[in-house]
Structure 1
Amino acid sequence: MRKHRYPSDVSHEQFEQIRPLLESARKRTKPRTVELYEVWCAVLYLLKTGCQWRLLPSDFPRWQTVHRYFSQWSEPDQNGVSVLEQALKKSQVGAARIKQGRKSESSFLIVDAQSVKNTDSACEKGYDAGKKVSGIKRHIAVDTQGLPHAIAVTTADVTDRKGALLAFKRCASHLRDVQNVLADGGYVGKPFAGAVKELIGAEVQIAKRSELHTFAVMPQRWVVERSFTWLEKCRRLWKNCERKLNTSLQFIHLAFLVLLLKRS
């Protein structure tokens, strides 16, 4: 048992909200020899500080044990959904919206993409010629509170439109109530609007920039930018340090999940 807490830790009460889902990922019947809460806090320490797995402090369980548990929580099931994604969308995003007096599923989403540089350990990458970035691209669709409803990670050479459609396709079962999708000029085009209509039955609205050559905050568009800023509070997400795209995706789920747990 650790003698002191780290700022990255969540409380025992907050952890109990997701403990059943995390325990469901266990594939063996052999008695657990480590405290699951300590494993969870070790993963959060790595996410927040950006350290390597082998550099986890010694008062946590062995790094091999922590990595094995994280791999189990990150593994997609037959529907392509990991335990971390289930914990985020089923027990946290919906609950946070209900707590605010809203429906669990949003009818309005804001979509955007962010290109992120790779480190030398990353195996999959592409080149975003517009942003001059060699790495990956994160595609997210959030509600008016900045809570994620659809997320996808691709190589940076994938267009914003294609990545957004991939995110909608992955999470279509949770987007049944969506009626409108707000996007910027990078998503202009009838093919994209038609594909969104076919996938989730929503209309695409394009937020046009001011023709004046001055900076102006675009109404509602700033919300998705704030969500990207939340991710960047985790040093693990400043760059893409992961070998596989799925691992990068799961760390994004984890970052949003921790944010909502600490708010609860």
Structure 2
Amino acid sequence: MRKIYPSDISRDQFAKIEGLLLSARKKTKPRKVDLYDVFCAILYVLKSGCQWDMIPSDFPPKSTVYTYFKQWKEKPSESELSLLEQTLKKNQVGAARIKHGRNEHSSFLIVDAQSVRNTDTAKYKGYDAGKKVSGIKRHIAVDTQGLPHALAVTTADVTDRKGALEAFVRHKKFLGKVVNVLADGGYTGRPFAEGVNEILGASVQIAKRNELHTFAVVPQRWVVERSFAWIEKCHRLWKNCERGLNTSLQFVNLAFLALLLRRD
């Protein structure tokens, strides 16, 4: 029996997503490892920020853990979602909203972007001149509870507007009820508003910061900042050390998935 780590979820929590994760398996050969331990090993990497080779020895072998992670993170095609994304969107976000007495699909979204510095192992990078960051950019759209409804990861040179539209396109089938999108001044402009209307049939509202450049909490904008703070509790996400943009995206999905499972 292995040691219990702070990054673990319970077996009851894992049971809620086990069915979807099992669908990735194509072989009929009996499984020799406990899938729960495999998932907890991936959560250990996410939470601690360690390298795959540094996974504790009481977990399944590193090669086995990474093989399962690779299956769960891969997208069948550019327009389809990975199993981790499906598990988050289909299984957890809607269930969390229903639990709090809300409709499964949100009608109001708040968008924002976060530029993250690369390490020397990262393959893709761009330069965000505004924030002076060389690396990648995470684009996120959340509801008023801070739950993610659309995610995308691009190089840092991609504009906030373009990245948000990419996220909306990827998750369009889950955003059919969206009526309004709230954004900050970085999303100002007719092309973005027209793009949101074309993709979602929704309108855009811009919340501008205090013109006097003094600190002021912008109503509802703090919600998306809190969502970024939630995932930054995972050391793997402090910087980007992934070779592929999709791997960076899937670790963000995994961070939100673990958060929602622990809350339930």
TM-score (norm 1): 0.98
**1-structure distance, mates of 2:174, 2:15:** 24
Query: Residue by residue, what CA displacement relative to the aligned partner does 1:34-55 show, whole Å, maximum 9, x if unpaired?
Result: 0000000000000000000000
5 Å-filtered alignment, 1:128-167, equals 128-167=128-167
Q: 1:211 maps to what in 2?
A: 211
1:153-192 equivalent positions in 2, closer than 5 A: 153-192=153-192
Q: Distance in 1 between matches of 2:185 and 2:34?
A: 49
User: Equivalents in 1 of 2:213, 2:205: separation in Å?
Assistant: 23
Residue-by-residue CA offset, 1:61-83 (whole Å, 9 max, x unaligned):
00010000000000112442000
Q: Please give the alpha-carbon distance, in whole angstroms, between the structure 2 residues aligned to 1:172 and 1:124.
A: 26
Q: Hey, what does 2:19 align to over in structure 1?
A: 20
1:51 lines up with 2:89 in the alignment: no
Q: Structure 1 unaligned runs (5+)?
A: none
Whole-Å Cα distance in 1 between the matches of residues 251 and 26 of structure 2?
22
Structure 1 position 207, deviation (Å): 0.1
Aligned residue in 2 for 1:62: 61
Classify the secondary structure of the residue corresponding to 2:153.
strand
User: Partner of 2:120 in structure 1?
Assistant: 120
Q: Deviations over 1:73-102 (max 9, x none)?
A: 001124420000011011100000000000
What is the rounded CA distance, in whole Å, between the counterparts of 1:107 and 1:217 in structure 2? 23
Give the 3-state SS of the residue equivalent to 1:17 in structure 2.
Answer: helix
Alignment of 1:224-235 (within 5 A): 224-235=224-235
Q: Deviations over 1:153-209 (max 9, x none)?
A: 000000000000000000011000000000000000011100100001010000011
Deviation at 1:242, TM superposition (A): 0.4
> How many positions carry a matched residue from both structures?
263
1:196 maps to amino acid: V
Q: CA deviation at 1:144?
A: 0.2
What amino acid is aligned across from residue 143 of structure 2 in structure 1?
D
Aligned CA RMSD, in angstroms, stands at: 0.7
Q: Residue 244 of structure 2 corresponds to which residue in structure 1?
A: 244
Cα deviation, residue 212, structure 1: 2.5
- Bigger mean CA deviation after superposition, 203-212 or 140-149: 203-212
Shift of 1:238: 0.2
Amino acid at match of 2:31: R
* 22-31 vs 94-103, greater mean Cα deviation: 22-31
- The letter of the residue matching 1:263 is R
**2-side partners of 1:155 and 1:187: how far apart?**
17
**Partner letter of residue 129 of structure 1?**
A
* TM-score in terms of structure 2 length: 0.98
Please give the alpha-carbon distance, in whole angstroms, between the structure 2 residues aligned to 1:164 and 1:155: 13
- The residue number in structure 1 matching 2:89 is 89
Any gaps of 5 or more consecutive residues in structure 2? none
Of 235-244 and 71-80, more deviation after overlay is shown by 71-80
Measure how far apart 1:222 and its partner are. Answer: 0.3
Question: How far, CA to CA, are the matches of 2:243 and 2:212 in structure 1?
Answer: 43
Q: CA deviation at 1:150?
A: 0.3
Say whether 1:255 aligns with 2:255.
yes
Counterpart Cα distance in 1 of 2:29 and 2:53: 25
Identical-pair percentage: 72
The answer as to 2:108 corresponding to 1:108 is yes
Q: Structure 2: how far apart are the matches of 1:6 and 1:157?
A: 38
